């Protein structure tokens, strides 16, 4: 019996010595990498409209009156963003805008960037007021502004 045990030890020991380093190596090199891709989300709403990344607003100008004279733009972003404005059409005078009732009025050509930032953590509201740069005569005129939310 003792001889059988010695014989088994002589047979199994080299096998264990050969297998143990491989098992140890497998344990130290076995790693798993998990990757998660979160897409960029950029959405804007104007006066609670459906969310998108660009929206145009038509304005009517009569004399020194602009309709609408105020809109609310909501921004939702999970990354860096820039909100811009551009005049895209119309026969009326240029409109000036201010942000959140600041005394700093500008046209889209003078200040195309309304706001910029990083992830908003929910909807972030910006109130924009509008006025006519130069009063008009001779009936109603139109002006269209395009608001775009993009990555810088």
For 13, list phi and psi in degrees, rounded to 5: -55, -50
Count of helices and strands (H, E) across the chain: 1, 10
Each residue's pLDDT tens digit, 32-54: 888 988 889 999 999 988 878 88
Each residue's pLDDT tens digit, 85-110: 999 888 878 899 999 999 999 999 99
Q: What is the pTM of this model?
A: 0.73
For 17, list phi and psi in degrees, rounded to 5: -65, -30
CA-based nearest residue to 73, from 42, 28, 107: 42
């Amino acid at each position: 019996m003792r001889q059988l045990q010695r014989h088994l030890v002589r047979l199994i020991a080299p096998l264990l010595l050969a297998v143990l380093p491989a098992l140890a190596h497998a344990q130290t090199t076995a790693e798993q990498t998990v990757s998660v891709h979160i897409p960029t989300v950029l959405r804007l709403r104007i006066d609670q409209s459906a969310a998108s990344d660009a929206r145009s607003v038509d304005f009517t100008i009569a004399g020194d009156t602009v309709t609408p004279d105020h809109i609310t733009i909501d921004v939702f972003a999970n990354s860096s963003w820039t909100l811009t404005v551009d005049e895209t059409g119309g026969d009326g005078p240029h409109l000036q805008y201010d942000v959140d009732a600041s005394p700093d009025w500008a046209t889209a050509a003078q200040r195309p960037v309304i706001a910029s930032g990083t992830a908003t953590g929910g909807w972030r509201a910006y109130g924009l007021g509008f006025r006519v740069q130069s009063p008009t005569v001779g009936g109603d005129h139109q002006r269209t502004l395009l608001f775009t939310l993009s990555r810088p």
